[in-house]
Amino acid sequence: ALAPAALAREALVAYRASEENVAADKVLARALRGESSFTDAERRVAADVFLGTATRLRRYEWICAQRGLCGAASDATAVAAALLRARDEDDGAYTWPADADERLSATSGAPLWLCARWRRDLGEAVAAAVADQSTRRGPV
Top pLDDT among 133 and 93 is at 133
pLDDT tens readout for residues 1-52: 578 888 888 888 888 888 777 888 899 999 999 888 889 999 999 998 888 8
Q: How far apart are the first and last CA of the chain?
A: 22
Q: How far is CA 51 from CA 23, 32, 119, in A?
A: 11, 13, 25
Q: How far is CA 71 from CA 14, 23, 79, 110, in A?
A: 20, 27, 9, 23
